[in-house]
Amino acid sequence: MQRAAELALQKMRENSGGPFGAIIVREGKVVAEGWNQVTSGNNPTAHAEIVAIRNACASLKSFSLEGCEICTSCEPCPMCLGAICWARLECLYYTNSRQDAARIGFDDEFIYAEITLPLDGRKISAVRIASESANLAFSEWASSPNKIRY
């Protein structure tokens, strides 16, 4: 936990991004680190947890982080929580809460609210467009004996 907090402070002071840090641990050893790189990398998805997950997957050469835990300096936003679930991390430890983050201008409450709304009630419009190519990709995936499930 301490390392995640140190990364948040160090990288924020270096103007790398917001005050967020994360580490991924397997069997008591750090396998990857990440810090917020949203503004330094011009990438709105470069949250500390996402960066740490990407680094861990590259280091372990696996899309699954089963057997790993994540320590992060703040309760994950909805995007990061989704990535944590997709990566199959087994435990999440965090320090600051989402309410703490909101008090300093990182308010994800609107995303939590949007997720609960039907598509036609959200602020960003969602329009479904039929596509034979997309249907074909799904059909071929469903019948492929070579697919790797994740």
Question: Active-site residues: which are they?
Answer: 49
Contact 88, 64 (CB under 8 A): yes
Enumerate the H helices of 14-116 as residue ranges: 48-60, 78-87, 98-103, 109-116
Residue labelled with tokens 């949250």: 47
3-state SS of the chain: helix, strand, coil percent to 5?
A: 45, 15, 40
Cα–Cα distance for residue pair 141/129, rounded to 1 Å: 20
Residue labelled with tokens 């609960």: 116
Among the listed residues 114, 62, 42, 65, the one whose alpha carbon sits nearest the alpha carbon of residue 22: 65
